[in-house]
Amino acid sequence: MPRIPGVGQSDAVRVFQKLGYRIARQSGHVIMSNGKIRLSIPRHSPINAITMGAIARDAGLTPEQFLKLL
């Protein structure tokens, strides 16, 4: 499982907004969607490294691609 350490919730949301994801709703998690894929981003700062890696993988990104977009 890929790891992306030290990423906060607001940074993750910003990266996915650059990729065309929009916030669908917010509660304990921020739910983002691009019309095909739905991502659930926890409201933690920082997000667990394994969890962040899995979210990036679900969006079709490698850890290196994700870190370049930060």
- 45-62 pLDDT, tens digit each: 899 999 999 999 999 999
Kindly state whether residue 4 falls inside one of the protein's structural domains: no
How would you list the strands of the sheet with 38-42, edge to edge? 22-26, 29-33, 38-42
pLDDT value at 1 more than 70: no
Kindly state whether residue 38 falls inside one of the protein's structural domains: yes
Domain of residue 34: give its range: 9-69
Kindly state whether residue 42 falls inside one of the protein's structural domains: yes
Kindly state whether residue 1 falls inside one of the protein's structural domains: no
Q: What is the pTM of this model?
A: 0.93
CATH number of the domain within which 13 lies: 3.30.920.30
The model's pLDDT over 28-42, given as tens digits with 9 standing for 90+, comes to: 999 999 999 999 999
The DSSP bridge pattern shows strands 22-26 and 29-33 to be antiparallel
Kindly state whether residue 46 falls inside one of the protein's structural domains: yes
Let me know: does 57 contact 2? Beta carbons within 8 Å: yes
Domain total for the chain?
A: 1
Kindly state whether residue 43 falls inside one of the protein's structural domains: yes
The pLDDT value recorded for residue 2 is 81
